[in-house]
Structure 1
Amino acid sequence: MDPVIVAGAGPVGLALTLALARAEVPVILLDESQGGDERRPARTAVLRPDTAALLERLGCRAAHAAEPWTGWRTLRRRQLVRHVSLVPGRPFLPGRKDSPGYGYGYDVGPDSGPVGDEAEEAPPSPLHLPQHELTGALRAALATVPGEDLVRIVPGTRLDTLEQDPRGVSIRTRGSQSTWWRGSYVIGCDGPRSTIRKLLGVRFPGRTAVERHAVAALRAELPWPGEAVLHRSPPWRTLDAEVTARPLPRGVWRLDWLLPPGRDLVTPDALVARVRDTLTGWSGDPALPYELLDTGVHTVHHRLALRWRAGRAFLAGDAAHLLGALGTQGLDEGMRDVGNLSWKLALAWHHGASDALLDSYQAERRGAVSARLRAADQALPLVRASGGWHAMRRSVLPGAVRAHDELLTDGHLGRGPLGEPPVHRRSPLTPAAAPEGSITVDTEIGALAADVPVTASDGSLTRLWARLGRELLVVLVAPGTGVWDRRHWLRAGLMPRLAAAVAALPMRAELLVAEEYPGAPAHTVLLVRPDGHLVAALSGVRPAELYACADAALGGRAARGGGAEEASAEAEAGTTAHR
């Protein structure tokens, strides 16, 4: 079969190329640049825990060099009585009990008080690094892919023509490599002005300039090393409603100032004045030394392509969607596109796949980004209330203020409708009806499975997310397995029957064991997709139901040549052989 063609060598195109290559799918990567990446310290990438784990699985070392927001890593929610009032003009310093606005940007009001010292543990904070370092790490990882013919990077190419037929696609390029290229599929990762999207005739509606931010990257010693800072209504800048500071590696910070509506130019002098005023306000030192490394203006657009699949052509990353208001992260969503599409294309390339499986990429990912954009559009009038932060404080109840501010922090922290990983509730890959023996665990069907410690069949100890990628995962929850003799664990308890059922599934699957899983009783069997989303939670070993759920997760591939009854018979035969 012909290689897959990936158009665009930004972070999403590089990551998709790497994911397909790791799955032994040959790729032609069309790179419009000459292979170099402009160094722009103010252009940064934010990685949520799930997307950072994806890059680590692919062998990209970028996450190891990224800077966690240590203050938000240790975020706690303080329990308060009576009311909580916002203190305007003071910074939100997450994770510091001695700081104003501890927790969600609030101080305890004069009539309130803490109830004990109990705290709620928050998930790990996002990671933050310059985008050119991410692309450099992805290119370095691609250089380690074994096999001379698995990845071909073609620099200096500009797309001109796209043609499709039932067996593949043909792409013509101009530039240093002016020729025709033949591929089995093509994925447009070529950015907001995507040529692939235009050649497909796909509309890209949305909103322009939803938010604008002045941006600066600088090296300085701020009072809160390693902590991300969100400061609402700083008193020294009456026109700036919000300032954020996020740590980067090697003592560098990225500062963002939310600009008032309009298209007024941000002059270099005005930006330097913002830097000086902000550093002075935070440190109290008007002579605080700093080194200004990079500046710019970041304009946030919200757009969503009407189609993400057209025959053998797909869109991903900024070619398919633009977002970024209220702390939402477009690059993060692009990496989730990679995780969703790569295993489906790999299955199609190696074994063939139903249209239902390939169509599910658009249904799941476009649905998830659409929900994110809708949540941002609904939250914007609340968070950016007319009349400013002070007016909102006077005009609404304290609880509502808290809810509005949480909307913003959720986007930055990767929580709630603005930030948490998507749940594919209406996925075409979800079984139409809950199979017999289904149980409820703390992870919703269609949501990302918890990253619990697991034991692999070779006895090695690892984590569930580290095993994602190409295969289905079947996880048996079996408390006490830590004391098993791992040389014989496949012959213990339920394992022989479950191993036989896994061997009969319509796609290769890996069998794992977890001591515990949130909300799951002993002997629960979890079926997890290669991108980490939960397909089913079953009580005990149920070969027919397990097969039916796996078949649904693959878009009904097995319906063409066998079904759950045959799988159940094979599994039972295997069980008998183990006895």
Structure 2
Amino acid sequence: MDPVIVVGAGPVGLALALALADQDVPSVVLDETGGKEEIRPARSVVLRPDTAALAERLCGSGPGEEGARWSGWRSMRRRTEVRRLALGADEAPAPLHLPQHALTRALRAAADGRSLVRLVTESRLDTLEQDRSGVTAHTRGPSGTWWRGSYLVGCDGARSTVRKLLGIRFPGRTAVERHAVAALRAELPWPGEALLHRRPVFLPGTEEITARPLAEGVWRLDWLLPPRGDLVTPETLVARVRDTLGAWCGGTPPYELLDTGVHTLHHRLARSWRAERTFLAGDAAHLLGALGTQGVDEGLRDVDNLAWKLAFAWHGRASSALLDSYEDERRTAVAARLRAADQCLPILRSGGGLRTYLPGAARGHDQMLTDAHLGQGPLGAPPVYAHSALTPGGCPTRTAVATPEGAPVEDVRVTSPDGTGGLLRERLGRGLLVVLVAPGTGVWERRHWVGAGVMPRLAAAVEGLPVAAELLVTEGYPGAPAHSVLMVRPDGHLAAAFSGVRAEDLHAAACAVGGGSAPGSADDGHAKRRPGVAEERADPD
């Protein structure tokens, strides 16, 4: 088959190309820019633990070298500190905060080292045609060029050309929130900790300020602006910086202003995310960002969900139903996120009213915002695909564990039959994972358990599955008794759990995760070719 065409070379497009390469699928990334990132420290992204792990896995050494993991979180209201949380390895998971250009640069460097990823700069899409066996795209640039791909994914941002060429509507709300933003280097009283300061007395009329640390003593400060306020001039923004730092530090400390801007946040959701062999992902499919939600975070979750499904289809191991599940799962999850934000906004942003008289209301609102910023609750937690069409049907050995079906699995320590160990999340992205809960395997020598108990039967069952799968064992898993078997999707979500080993149940579950059809059906019977690069031809003179 032809490579997958990825339109857009931002974090989402590059991450998708890398995730496909990890599964032996070639891609061509069409980048309308010259390939150089604009350095904007004030344009940063917050990656929650699941998306940070994905980015680090795709980049190899990881993008975290230019970012900061927060050591704590503080919430203040007026002059009073109302909450302080410790974050880190032994506490609540810490988000990773880094400039977006640093994330893009790390992903681009990783893509440059992959033979299955071809980056093409100065190539702007202007034509898209689909047929039964693939997609044909035309780009403008130094020389007009045609490309042929098996599938095409539009990761080309809020003004997506792919979405417009497909005629997909993009309804929603404009200017949901506005923020004045500054990136600066300074010493603040809480090094390494992020701060949410609501209704500060030193800036009358300001609803909220956030201070989030980056690497090397740099901070990003955001001031929530009135929806229809006056124009923010450089002078007024510098005044905000001085007043804020002065109040927090007991006098304005020395600081270096690195970057400023005004960010206007919109909420939009594309009507559909798939049209035959073409898909939308990232800002091309959704816009969100109010109340601490993160667009890049959700875009990387799109990648995690779509990449393995495209890979299964490209290798001829999936049905069209598997590709349909991308929109069903991801659009439903993002719609729920937007719906939660829209419901919370009037409560959190409107002044006065009932919330003035309800005991504990302000504390509950602070908790809601904290959860959103830290990747918890309805505004920030990883999605659960509870009603996915890929969930296996009933069978005699199905059982329940602490992780609901469709939810992300716990990152427990696992061991493969060859004796190599590591964390479960390190094994994601290449195929199904079948995990046996076997107490004692963490301390026994491999020769004592690899051929004992249910292992031989389970190994034979995994070998006979209709899709690629890796067998692993773990000392224990929350809520799972000994000899339970977990089937984990390539994106880290639990497909099903079983009590014991029954080959028929495992086979049926693997078929369900693959879309419920026989292998080879996704590509309409067309022969698969060796990985290569997209067919390219210059326009005739």
In the alignment, structure 2 segments of 5+ residues that lack a partner are: 522-541
Matched, 1:57 2:57: yes
Question: Deviation per CA, 1:282-312, whole angstroms, max 9, x where unpaired?
Answer: 11023x1000000001111000000100000
Larger relative CO (CA 8 A, sep 6+): 1 or 2? 2
Structure 2: how far apart are the matches of 1:350 and 1:437?
A: 30
Structure 2: how far apart are the matches of 1:45 and 1:499?
A: 42
Matched, 1:482 2:483: no
Question: Deviation per CA, 1:204-225, whole angstroms, max 9, x where unpaired?
Answer: 0000000111000000000000
Residue of structure 2 equivalent to 1:342: 307
Could you tell me how far 1:59 is from its partner in structure 2?
2.9
Structure 1: how far apart are the matches of 2:173 and 2:146?
A: 36
Contact in 2 for aligned 1:94/1:228 (Cα 8 Å): no
Q: Secondary structure at the match of 1:161?
A: strand
Residue of structure 2 equivalent to 1:494: 454
Cα distance change on mapping 1:88 and 1:26 into 2, 3 Å: same
Question: Identity of aligned pairs, percent?
Answer: 65
Contact in 2 for aligned 1:91/1:232 (Cα 8 Å): no
Q: 1:534 aligns with which of 494, 508, 518?
A: 494
Q: Aligned runs of 1:129-528 on 2, under 5 Å?
A: 129-145=98-114, 147=115, 150-286=116-252, 288-387=253-352, 394-398=356-360, 400-431=361-392, 433-528=393-488
RMSD of aligned residue pairs (Cα, Å)? 1.8
Matched letter for residue 5 of structure 2: I
Residue of structure 2 equivalent to 1:127: 96
Could you tell me how far 1:229 is from its partner in structure 2?
0.5
Residue of structure 2 equivalent to 1:42: 42
Q: Secondary structure at the match of 2:399?
A: coil
Q: What is the TM-score normalised by the length of structure 2?
A: 0.93
Could you tell me how far 1:483 is from its partner in structure 2?
2.3
Matched letter for residue 397 of structure 1: P
Question: Deviation per CA, 1:193-239, whole angstroms, max 9, x where unpaired?
Answer: 00000000000000000011100000000000000001111110012
Contact in 2 for aligned 1:90/1:231 (Cα 8 Å): no
Cα distance change on mapping 1:476 and 1:13 into 2, 3 Å: same
Structure 1: how far apart are the matches of 2:139 and 2:39?
A: 27
Structure 2: how far apart are the matches of 1:210 and 1:171?
A: 35
Q: Secondary structure at the match of 1:383?
A: helix
In the alignment, structure 1 segments of 5+ residues that lack a partner are: 77-85, 97-102, 104-120, 562-579
Number of residue equivalences:
518
Matched, 1:543 2:503: yes
Contact in 2 for aligned 1:70/1:226 (Cα 8 Å): yes
Contact in 1 for aligned 2:401/2:497 (Cα 8 Å): yes
Structure 1: how far apart are the matches of 2:489 and 2:226?
A: 44
Q: Secondary structure at the match of 1:483?
A: coil
Contact in 2 for aligned 1:490/1:499 (Cα 8 Å): no
Structure with the largest fraction of strand: 2
Contact in 2 for aligned 1:308/1:362 (Cα 8 Å): yes
Runs ≥4 residues deviating over 6 A = none
Contact in 1 for aligned 2:431/2:470 (Cα 8 Å): yes
Cα distance change on mapping 1:392 and 1:285 into 2, 3 Å: farther
Question: Deviation per CA, 1:327-347, whole angstroms, max 9, x where unpaired?
Answer: 011100000000111111111
Structure 2: how far apart are the matches of 1:560 and 1:42?
A: 47
Q: Secondary structure at the match of 1:228?
A: strand
Matched letter for residue 505 of structure 2: E
Q: Secondary structure at the match of 1:95?
A: strand
Contact in 1 for aligned 2:319/2:519 (Cα 8 Å): no
Structure 1: how far apart are the matches of 2:121 and 2:138?
A: 14
Q: Secondary structure at the match of 2:193?
A: coil
Contact in 2 for aligned 1:6/1:186 (Cα 8 Å): yes
Question: Deviation per CA, 1:8-33, whole angstroms, max 9, x where unpaired?
Answer: 00110011111112222111110010
Q: 1:555 aligns with which of 506, 515, 525?
A: 515
Matched, 1:69 2:70: yes
Q: Aligned runs of 1:68-87 on 2, under 5 Å?
A: 68-72=69-73
Structure 2: how far apart are the matches of 1:131 and 1:87?
A: 29
Could you tell me how far 1:352 is from its partner in structure 2?
4.5
Contact in 2 for aligned 1:411/1:418 (Cα 8 Å): yes
